[in-house]
Amino acid sequence: MIKVRKFSEITRTSDVNYMSQKVTNSPYDVVYQAVFSVQDEDFDFKISKQYLNSIELNGKVYLALQTYNITFESYSGDTELTGKGNAFKVFTTVLAIVKEFSDMEKPEILTFSAGEPSRKRLYQHFSDSIEKYLPNYSFMGVTLNPGDKDFYFKRNR
């Protein structure tokens, strides 16, 4: 059974309401989740623990990392671009939720992935915004896996 503890009720950002909660005892290592709607489209947001043996970023090898992977998709399960012109509101809401989580839990490394080419460009812009909205985090680098581009951010000490 998943135990849930409420950290926030409804939070308002960029004219979008969202509800978020910390999750414990998740069978999928989900540690935080939220739901929100933008222009009549519902989104499911999750942060999951991920353990990596090693990763190389910008010529530097990092060993034994515990990262927190950010994912979000429409309730239909679609992670593709919707073409509805709501990317700003979606990403502003995602940034607010990530900030809420990082302020509470202070994860060492945050990461997210992009697949399709247009999503990679959009996520690069999102990546550029993270340091502005999360000043305690710095860009570590990007890995290019077959079909994916993974972005990594490290908490400043």
- Cα 47 to Cα 33: distance, rounded to the nearest angstrom: 6
Give the chain's largest Cα–Cα span.
44
Instruction: State the residue for tokens 């993974």.
Output: 150
**Strands, E assignment, 14-156:** 16-24, 30-38, 41-57, 60-74, 109-114, 137-145, 148-155
Residue 39 makes CB contacts below 8 A (sequence gap 6+) with 84, 86, 89
Q: Kindly indicate whether the domain formed by 3-155 is annotated with CATH number 3.30.70.
A: no
Residue 69 near residue 87 (C-beta atoms within 8 A): no
pLDDT tens across 31-89, in order? 888 888 888 888 999 999 988 888 888 888 888 888 999 988 887 655 555 566 677 78
Residue 94 near residue 45 (C-beta atoms within 8 A): yes
pLDDT band with cut points at 50, 70 and 90 for residue 5: very low
pLDDT band with cut points at 50, 70 and 90 for residue 19: confident
Asked whether the predicted pLDDT for residue 155 surpasses 90, the reply is yes
User: Hey, CA dihedral for 65, 137, 38, 26, is it positive or negative?
Assistant: positive
pLDDT tens across 108-152, in order? 999 988 877 767 777 788 888 888 889 999 999 888 777 788 889
CA atoms within 13 Å, Cβ hemisphere of 154: 9
Instruction: State the residue for tokens 């999928």.
Output: 28
Asked whether the predicted pLDDT for residue 100 surpasses 50, the reply is yes
Residue 69's pLDDT is: 92
Asked whether the predicted pLDDT for residue 1 surpasses 70, the reply is no
| Residue 117 CB-density burial (10 A; 0-12 exposed, 13-18 middle, 19+ buried) | exposed
Asked whether the predicted pLDDT for residue 2 surpasses 70, the reply is no
